[in-house]
Amino acid sequence: MTSTNELVKKFIDGFASNNDIAVLKQIYVTTCSLVDDRIVMLNIAEVPKRQHPFSIAHEIAHIVGHDVYFDGVAGYITESDADYYAVKLLYDYCRSINLKFNSTLDFITQVGIPTRCFNIAEVVLHPEQKLVLILFSRYSKDSWIVKAHP
Protein backbone atom coordinates (compact mmCIF):
# COMPACT_ATOMS: atom_id res chain seq x y z
CA MET A 1 0.00 0.00 0.00
CA THR A 2 1.28 3.45 -0.89
CA SER A 3 1.84 5.80 2.05
CA THR A 4 0.23 9.23 2.19
CA ASN A 5 3.69 10.80 1.97
CA GLU A 6 4.49 8.85 -1.22
CA LEU A 7 1.17 9.91 -2.80
CA VAL A 8 1.86 13.54 -1.92
CA LYS A 9 5.39 13.27 -3.34
CA LYS A 10 4.06 12.00 -6.68
CA PHE A 11 1.43 14.75 -6.73
CA ILE A 12 3.86 17.60 -6.02
CA ASP A 13 6.37 16.33 -8.60
CA GLY A 14 3.56 16.21 -11.16
CA PHE A 15 2.26 19.63 -10.10
CA ALA A 16 5.70 21.14 -10.62
CA SER A 17 6.08 19.48 -14.01
CA ASN A 18 2.59 20.55 -15.16
CA ASN A 19 3.44 24.15 -14.25
CA ASP A 20 6.80 24.13 -16.07
CA ILE A 21 8.76 24.15 -12.83
CA ALA A 22 11.92 22.05 -12.73
CA VAL A 23 12.87 20.41 -9.44
CA LEU A 24 16.57 19.73 -8.88
CA LYS A 25 17.45 17.52 -5.93
CA GLN A 26 21.09 17.89 -4.99
CA ILE A 27 23.40 17.62 -2.00
CA TYR A 28 25.51 20.76 -2.37
CA VAL A 29 22.85 23.41 -2.94
CA THR A 30 20.77 25.70 -0.79
CA THR A 31 17.09 24.84 -0.79
CA CYS A 32 15.57 27.73 -2.70
CA SER A 33 13.63 28.78 -5.76
CA LEU A 34 15.03 30.48 -8.83
CA VAL A 35 11.90 32.37 -9.78
CA ASP A 36 12.88 33.71 -13.20
CA ASP A 37 14.19 30.29 -14.25
CA ARG A 38 11.23 28.42 -12.66
CA ILE A 39 13.54 26.06 -10.81
CA VAL A 40 13.22 24.63 -7.31
CA MET A 41 16.50 23.50 -5.78
CA LEU A 42 16.20 21.05 -2.89
CA ASN A 43 19.12 20.07 -0.68
CA ILE A 44 18.33 16.40 -0.06
CA ALA A 45 20.98 16.15 2.65
CA GLU A 46 19.56 19.10 4.59
CA VAL A 47 15.80 18.52 4.30
CA PRO A 48 14.37 15.33 5.87
CA LYS A 49 13.05 13.01 3.15
CA ARG A 50 9.48 13.06 4.54
CA GLN A 51 9.48 16.86 4.20
CA HIS A 52 10.59 16.93 0.54
CA PRO A 53 7.04 17.40 -0.85
CA PHE A 54 6.33 20.24 1.58
CA SER A 55 9.66 21.95 0.88
CA ILE A 56 9.08 21.71 -2.88
CA ALA A 57 5.53 23.08 -2.50
CA HIS A 58 6.91 25.92 -0.34
CA GLU A 59 9.44 26.87 -3.02
CA ILE A 60 6.77 26.57 -5.74
CA ALA A 61 4.82 29.20 -3.78
CA HIS A 62 7.70 31.62 -4.23
CA ILE A 63 7.67 30.98 -7.98
CA VAL A 64 3.89 31.26 -8.30
CA GLY A 65 4.00 34.42 -6.15
CA HIS A 66 6.77 35.87 -8.33
CA ASP A 67 8.99 36.35 -5.29
CA VAL A 68 12.06 37.44 -7.20
CA TYR A 69 13.74 39.06 -4.22
CA PHE A 70 13.17 38.08 -0.62
CA ASP A 71 14.60 41.09 1.12
CA GLY A 72 11.93 41.81 3.69
CA VAL A 73 10.07 44.33 1.55
CA ALA A 74 6.31 44.15 2.05
CA GLY A 75 4.50 43.00 -1.05
CA TYR A 76 6.67 40.00 -1.74
CA ILE A 77 5.53 36.60 -0.60
CA THR A 78 6.87 35.89 2.88
CA GLU A 79 8.09 32.62 4.27
CA SER A 80 4.84 32.29 6.25
CA ASP A 81 2.82 32.98 3.10
CA ALA A 82 4.76 30.26 1.28
CA ASP A 83 4.17 27.86 4.18
CA TYR A 84 0.42 28.57 3.99
CA TYR A 85 0.37 28.01 0.22
CA ALA A 86 2.24 24.71 0.62
CA VAL A 87 -0.03 23.41 3.39
CA LYS A 88 -3.17 24.42 1.46
CA LEU A 89 -1.92 22.89 -1.79
CA LEU A 90 -1.08 19.59 -0.10
CA TYR A 91 -4.31 19.49 1.91
CA ASP A 92 -6.46 20.25 -1.14
CA TYR A 93 -4.76 17.38 -2.96
CA CYS A 94 -5.38 15.00 -0.03
CA ARG A 95 -9.06 16.00 0.01
CA SER A 96 -9.33 15.48 -3.75
CA ILE A 97 -8.33 11.82 -3.32
CA ASN A 98 -10.52 11.42 -0.21
CA LEU A 99 -7.74 10.98 2.33
CA LYS A 100 -8.99 11.44 5.89
CA PHE A 101 -7.02 12.51 8.94
CA ASN A 102 -7.88 12.07 12.62
CA SER A 103 -6.41 15.41 13.63
CA THR A 104 -4.21 18.24 12.48
CA LEU A 105 -1.22 16.47 14.01
CA ASP A 106 -2.12 13.31 12.07
CA PHE A 107 -2.26 15.36 8.84
CA ILE A 108 1.10 17.08 9.29
CA THR A 109 2.73 13.82 10.38
CA GLN A 110 1.43 11.73 7.47
CA VAL A 111 2.05 14.38 4.83
CA GLY A 112 5.48 15.43 6.14
CA ILE A 113 4.73 19.02 7.09
CA PRO A 114 7.09 20.55 9.68
CA THR A 115 5.60 21.12 13.14
CA ARG A 116 6.32 24.86 12.83
CA CYS A 117 3.36 24.88 10.41
CA PHE A 118 0.89 23.35 12.88
CA ASN A 119 -1.03 26.62 13.32
CA ILE A 120 -1.25 27.13 9.58
CA ALA A 121 -2.53 23.57 9.18
CA GLU A 122 -5.17 24.22 11.89
CA VAL A 123 -6.53 27.13 9.87
CA VAL A 124 -6.50 25.17 6.60
CA LEU A 125 -8.10 22.02 8.06
CA HIS A 126 -10.75 23.73 10.18
CA PRO A 127 -12.24 26.64 8.23
CA GLU A 128 -15.62 25.95 9.86
CA GLN A 129 -14.16 26.98 13.23
CA LYS A 130 -13.50 30.45 11.88
CA LEU A 131 -9.94 30.41 13.10
CA VAL A 132 -7.89 33.38 12.07
CA LEU A 133 -4.21 33.04 11.36
CA ILE A 134 -2.38 36.17 12.32
CA LEU A 135 1.06 36.70 10.89
CA PHE A 136 2.48 38.97 13.55
CA SER A 137 5.26 40.19 11.34
CA ARG A 138 5.83 39.82 7.62
CA TYR A 139 9.52 39.58 8.54
CA SER A 140 9.37 36.65 10.95
CA LYS A 141 7.94 33.15 11.19
CA ASP A 142 6.06 33.98 14.41
CA SER A 143 2.39 33.17 14.07
CA TRP A 144 -0.46 32.02 16.22
CA ILE A 145 -4.15 31.30 16.07
CA VAL A 146 -6.86 33.47 17.58
CA LYS A 147 -10.51 32.37 17.61
CA ALA A 148 -12.66 34.83 15.77
CA HIS A 149 -15.46 36.26 17.89
CA PRO A 150 -18.91 36.45 16.28
Tell me: the pLDDT tens digits for 70-93?
A: 444 444 567 888 999 999 999 999
Look at the chain and report how many structural domains it folds into.
1
The widest CA-to-CA distance across the chain, in whole angstroms, is 51
**Residue 133 pLDDT class (50, 70, 90 cuts):** low
- Residue 45 burial (CB count, 10 A): 10
Domain limits for position 100: 4-147
- 75: number of CA atoms within 13 Å, CB side? 3
Q: What is the mean pLDDT of the chain?
A: 83
31 with 59: CB under 8 angstroms?
A: yes
Question: Looking at the whole model, is its pTM more than 0.85?
Answer: no
Chain-centroid distance, C-alpha 115: 12
